[in-house]
Amino acid sequence: MTKRISTKENWDEFWIRKHRVEDVYDNTDRIITNLTQITELNGKQILEVGAGTARDSFAMIDAGADVFVLDYSMPAFHIIKRLNQQRSSGVYPILADTFKIPVAENTFDIVFHQGLLEHFTNPVELLKENVRVLKKDGLLLVDVPQRYHIYTVIKHILIFLNKWFAGWETEFTIRELESLVEQSGAQVVHRYGDWMRPSLFYRMVRELLLKIKIKLPLYPNGFGPLRRIRDKIRNRWIVRKWAFYTFLDIGIIASKNE
């Protein structure tokens, strides 16, 4: 029978399996890139919710921020602790429920999460809790999967077969995401999106080959001239409105105005 929720057990199992950070795809710096288009990070108090490996947060420390990371998975915390030990300055971990963040109102300058909202059937309640701990004029960044993508079709087939790693998740259009964020009490000031890199086909082939002990690079080198042409095309297309219906990932940055 198909699971209709994403559970703590799903994530504990996932982070035990993916304890080697080197084997987990990163966000290609899109979180910090878009935040720094809106604000300086130096001196900011930041919270990452559903942090996982916290790699986005470590990049923000390097930009001069004080960063707290919240997750409810102990295996994820073991990863974060190990990464903290490899650095001269680290993040401050919080083991807690994302719907009950154990800090006072008006605490953080920035709250962000990536790959989190889609795993809950009551997203507005999660977003309201994010907004609660933001200072006035603080920023909320929400990064989620975009609906109109072949990834969505494959994902829902696996959910139906009870084979999806997270148990269950959904996806959003950019308009739906904007509406949810505004219902939480924040005003949208920036939106963005990005395509999957490397491609979905490459990732699927890599996962299949891993099952027979053949390990391809996480990121293929590709052919230099073709890669440069592809990047030029992407840079031109990424600013088009219609591109929001082709991206794998979309994001919103919103401001708390009260």
Between 146 and 2, where is the model more confident?
146
Say whether the peptide bond before residue 93 is cis (omega within 30 degrees of 0): no
Reference 252, options 120, 117, 83; nearest CA is 117
CA 231 and chain centroid, separation: 22
Average pLDDT of 17-33? 81
Cβ atoms 84, 54 nearer than 8 A: no
Domain ranges of the chain: 8-196+243-256
- 8-196+243-256 is a CATH 3.40.1160.10 domain: no
pLDDT, residue 121, reads 92
- pLDDT, tens digit (0-9, with 9 covering 90-100), for 38-97: 999 999 999 999 999 898 999 999 999 999 999 999 999 999 999 999 988 889 999 999
pLDDT, residue 104, reads 96
- The reported pTM is 0.90
pLDDT, residue 241, reads 86
- Tell me how many degrees the CA angle 227-31-244 measures, rounded to the nearest 5: 65
User: 3 falls in which pLDDT band (50, 70, 90)?
Assistant: very low
